[in-house]
Chain A
């Protein structure tokens, strides 16, 4: 019995030592993204972008003299899983900072865990306003909230001569938040808001919603969802003979994928995006954009994924910059350092400003928003 116990103790000690040394050699960053389920395509793109950032940083010597190591977990496009994944990354992998969780509902589900374990998270994609207004000081968002998208869009509504719009949005915090923020902006501009139709994140048949929209008296439809569902919507809208102007929001459209899969149905559609991989020279940081796109293509990924993957690239660079600035890989120090960083993101400078109730503000950077239009299967830039 004693011998067995001794053996167990030796194994435990060895594991702890080996594990301990391995942990000390790298600095871990937790990545909480949807790799399966409704948002699998988008989450996979973000992770691939994150890997480019990690490799680039490590090739230059890492941070604080150590390599960074991404601990990537799949949240299955499911809020419950997203919270469990965050807990696992923090308690078991001992990551001092996270990036995630793609969808607004996923991020919102993770947020209480960040409070519980006092660990900061860089939010790379989510756009629901609630994320940075409910008073969670561990949130640092580099993507635009939907109100910022709506405000950017405000400038062009006169030019487009919008009169009445319908909404077709994904039935979660992202979609409903977008419908709310855009409706508010439209009403201020004197534009009537007609139908607000929703769809489940896993729904594949939107014919019923589209039939209803087809027969309404609006001339424009604002659509918010991720790329897979969008492609289905374009195909089904074409099959129903829906001839209204379609504008998508959220920046997860991968316009090239829509052109490839929806064909002629994509022509004349407009999309609010947060990155311009088609026109690197028009981005705020052309040199970095070119490097990223070249690296993306070199790895054999589809160009269409760029509009999504750049978020992962910027997110990891943000986290790494904060670790460097903090001088140590500890959650509290990284959280404090995130307020002081200023890095050149692919879509503008990443500098966090305070947002939300006083005393427990979240960080929000101010990225750019662009409107593009697809014509003859090509992406063109519209001036906002």
Chain B
């Protein structure tokens, strides 16, 4: 029983960051119809910003987090303006190829700048974990969970309670009509991509110090983000949050009770099942066609 409780706690901690990874990607796909292959690199980028600010500049850990989010926002806006805007109206395959190119170029850039050897970031949290009966969890991980929850909440409010969010939702439903109603669609696209990117960078900035930082760290994260988006339904933010926790649960219980060798396979088995039985995702709403 205590093992099961520990697995549940691990799931919560892991799921929060998975959800954060998923919403950034689903937002961009839902609104822009762009499969963002740079998502993983933006995650890596956020982690390296933490490394630069905390380890190389010696600044405060908590100050580094907003810096990483802002840097992710700026890099995302730059990618949108230089690569995606000129491709507006091209088919999804062309955009996808360009994004794959950007992913490889940026990952090689990170390798060139920082080298292949993993870096780590020191945190202000105590080494001794928080122990609650049979269950224990590190303070850093609790902080990461809280920060992820806060970011998810802020994103939710931004989309559902602000005029920018209303414009984003309108563009999502029908961008021609939204443009006719006076929505600056170009601006919405840039903002959406920048917000999605800053969420990926935030996830990297939060998880970099938990794990180690290296140029290819984003690859596995991106694969998981895609899995979460498929689970939750493309463009569905609530679905991505729940999808993140489902993936974490599947991995924890799969590794704990089936076989740890297939830990990363568990999530993908669920995805195959979802694609066969409910291809629009577990939480798809009825969609207007045409």
On whether the beta carbons of B118 and A40 are closer than 8 Å, the reply is: yes
On whether the beta carbons of B141 and A239 are closer than 8 Å, the reply is: yes
**Complex CA–CA separation, A199 to B211 (angstroms):** 15
**Complex CA–CA separation, A34 to B109 (angstroms):** 18
Instruction: Specify which of B212, B215, B252, B254 is in contact with A204 (CB 8 Å cutoff).
Output: B212
B6 to A, closest residue via Cβ: A211
A10-51 residues with Cβ-Cβ distance < 8 A to B are: 35-37, 40-41, 44
**Complex CA–CA separation, A209 to B10 (angstroms):** 11
Q: Does B7 contact A (CB under 8 A)?
A: yes
In this complex, how many residues of chain B approach chain A with their Cβ under 8 Å: the count is: 38
On whether the beta carbons of B3 and A41 are closer than 8 Å, the reply is: no
Q: Does B111 contact A (CB under 8 A)?
A: yes
Q: Does A264 contact B (CB under 8 A)?
A: yes
On whether the beta carbons of A40 and B116 are closer than 8 Å, the reply is: yes
On whether the beta carbons of B14 and A205 are closer than 8 Å, the reply is: yes
B253 to A, closest residue via Cβ: A208
Q: Does B78 contact A (CB under 8 A)?
A: no
Assuming the contacts A36-B111, A40-B116, A41-B117, asked whether A228 and B3 have C-beta atoms less than 8 A apart, the reply is no
A171 to B, closest residue via Cβ: B261
**Complex CA–CA separation, A349 to B2 (angstroms):** 51
B239-281 residues with Cβ-Cβ distance < 8 A to A are: 251-252, 254-256, 259-261, 263-264
Inside 8 A of B141's CB, which chain A residues have their CB? 239
Assuming the contacts A36-B216, A211-B256, A228-B118, asked whether A204 and B261 have C-beta atoms less than 8 A apart, the reply is no
Q: Does A376 contact B (CB under 8 A)?
A: no
Inside 8 A of B128's CB, which chain A residues have their CB? 238
Nearest-Cβ distance from residue A214 to partner chain B, whole angstroms: 7
**Complex CA–CA separation, A50 to B214 (angstroms):** 24
Q: Does A155 contact B (CB under 8 A)?
A: no
B7 to A, closest residue via Cβ: A211
Q: What are 10 A-B pairs with beta-carbon distances under 8 A?
A: A44-B116, A44-B117, A203-B264, A204-B211, A214-B6, A228-B118, A238-B127, A238-B138, A241-B129, A241-B131
Query: Hey, which bits of chain A sit against chain B, CB under 8 A?
Result: 35-37, 40-41, 44, 74, 171, 197-200, 202-205, 207-209, 211-212, 214-215, 228, 231-232, 235, 238-241, 261, 263-265
Query: Hey, which bits of chain B sit against chain A, CB under 8 A?
Result: 2-3, 6-7, 10, 13-14, 111, 115-118, 120, 127-129, 131, 136-138, 141, 211-212, 214-217, 220, 251-252, 254-256, 259-261, 263-264
